[in-house]
């Protein structure tokens, strides 16, 4: 049976936890920015102006159709040639946000159009103003429709953030690489970081379910 070097847990534990914290922070920021971008893009695609619709469509298609790694390399290595020299961390967040935004745009677009027109008409006929309709009827329904895919997005971003290790952002995968390089042993760092990612993932999923049940309590 192969040996598991427990001393690595002790020696690199702090480094792994720090990396996990960075991963969580970067993912949270990127997801929030990405959601905002996604909402804007979704609205743009449903707007009456053709130019806006077209631009949003291009953004969504291109960012969903190309690998995040290539986008990351571009933002990190090519932009400096045009005077935009972002730090590794900023470049990583920008790349993740743009990537998430494109996927979130599609989720939002589907959510907005899925809210049954009938609901809106019924609400209006009952005398609710447009604002009230939006807040009391449309939003909660949208919440149930989009919350699961969106917690999905967050967990997705947590996993995609591992790519940021390639451009020197000190997140969890980066910590694993460092441990592998210094201990000459790949097993322990991979298992430890894998476990930490798995934990993060499950925690987010649990939290998402909690929030969803809270928000939709009144609809039950």
Partner 1 sequence: MRGFDLRIVIESLPLLLRGALVTVEVSILGLLLAAVIAVPVAYGRLSRWRLLRAVTFLYLDVVRGTPLLLQLFAVFYLPPLIGLDLSPFVSGVLALGLNGGAYTSEILRGGIRALPPGQTESSRALGMSALQCARRIVLPQVVVSVLPALANETAALIKASSLVSALALVELTRVGYQVVSRVLRPTEIYVTVGAMYLAMNALVGFGAGRAQRRLGASR
Partner 2 sequence: MTRRARTWLAALVAPLAVSAPSPLGAVGALALGALVVLGGPGVRDGHAGLLDDIKKRKEIVIATEAGYAPFEYVEGGKIVGYHADLLALVMKDLTAQGVRVNQLDLPFASLLAGLQAKKYDMIATALFGTEERARRFGFTVPTALGTTGLVTRANNTAITKPDDLDGKIVGAPQATKYLDQMKALSEEFKKKGGQGIKEIKEYASGYTEIYADIDNGRIDAAPNGLPNLAVLLKQQPGKYKLAGQLGDPTYFAWATRKEDQDLLDYLNAQLLKLKKAGVFNELQMKWFGFTMELPDVPTLGK
The residues that touch partner 1, with contacts defined as CB under 8 A, are 2, 61-62, 64-71, 73-74, 77-78, 81-82, 155, 158-163, 165-166, 173, 176, 186-187, 190, 193-194, 197-198, 201-202
The per-residue b/e assignment along 110-131, b for 16 or more CB within 10 angstroms, e otherwise, is ebbeebeeeebeebeeeebeee
Q: Does 77 bind partner 2 (CB under 8 A)?
A: yes
Q: Please choose which of partner 1, partner 2, none residue 168 contacts, taking the beta carbon within 5 to 8 angstroms, the exact cut-off set by kind.
A: partner 2
Q: Please choose which of partner 2, partner 1, none residue 70 contacts, taking the beta carbon within 5 to 8 angstroms, the exact cut-off set by kind.
A: partner 1
Exposed/middle/buried for 199, CB within 10 Å: 0-12, 13-18, 19+? Answer: exposed
Residue among 159, 149, 147 nearest 198 (CA) = 159
Rule CB under 8 A: choose which of 166, 191, 205, 215 binds partner 2. Answer: 166
Q: Does 121 bind partner 2 (CB under 8 A)?
A: no
Q: Please choose which of partner 1, partner 2, none residue 182 contacts, taking the beta carbon within 5 to 8 angstroms, the exact cut-off set by kind.
A: partner 2
Task: Output the smallest distance, CB 80 to partner 2, in A.
Answer: 4
Tokens of 25: 């922070």
Tell me which residues in 43-62 interact with partner 2 (CB under 8 A): none
- Rounded to a whole number of angstroms, the distance between the first and last alpha carbons of the chain is 53
Q: Please choose which of partner 1, partner 2, none residue 15 contacts, taking the beta carbon within 5 to 8 angstroms, the exact cut-off set by kind.
A: none
Residue among 188, 162, 186, 184 nearest 174 (CA) = 162
Are 162 and 155 in contact by the 8 Å Cβ rule? The answer is no
Binding region for partner 2 (CB under 8 A): 76-77, 80-81, 85, 87-88, 165-168, 170, 174, 177-178, 180-187
């Amino acid at each position: 049976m192969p040996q598991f070097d427990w001393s690595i847990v002790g020696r690199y534990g702090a480094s792994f936890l720090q990396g996990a914290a960075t991963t969580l922070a970067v993912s949270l920021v990127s997801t929030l920015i990405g959601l905002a971008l996604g909402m804007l893009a979704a609205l743009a695609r449903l707007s009456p102006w053709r130019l806006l619709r077209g631009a949003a469509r291009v953004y969504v298609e291109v960012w969903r159709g190309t690998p995040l790694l290539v986008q990351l390399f571009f933002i990190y290595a090519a932009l400096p040639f045009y005077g935009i020299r972002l730090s590794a961390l900023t470049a990583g967040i920008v790349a993740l946000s743009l990537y998430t935004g494109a996927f979130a745009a599609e989720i939002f677009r589907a959510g907005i159009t899925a809210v049954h027109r009938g609901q809106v008409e019924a609400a209006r006929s009952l005398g609710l103003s447009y604002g009230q309709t939006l807040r009391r009827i449309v939003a909660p329904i949208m919440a149930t429709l989009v919350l699961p895919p969106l917690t999905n997005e967050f967990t997705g971003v947590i996993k995609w953030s591992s790519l940021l290790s390639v451009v020197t952002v000190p997140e969890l995968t980066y910590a694993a690489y460092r441990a592998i390089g210094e201990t000459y042993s790949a097993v322990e760092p991979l298992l430890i970081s894998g476990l930490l990612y798995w934990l993060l993932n499950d925690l987010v999923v649990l939290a998402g379910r909690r929030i969803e049940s809270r928000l939709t309590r009144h609809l039950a």
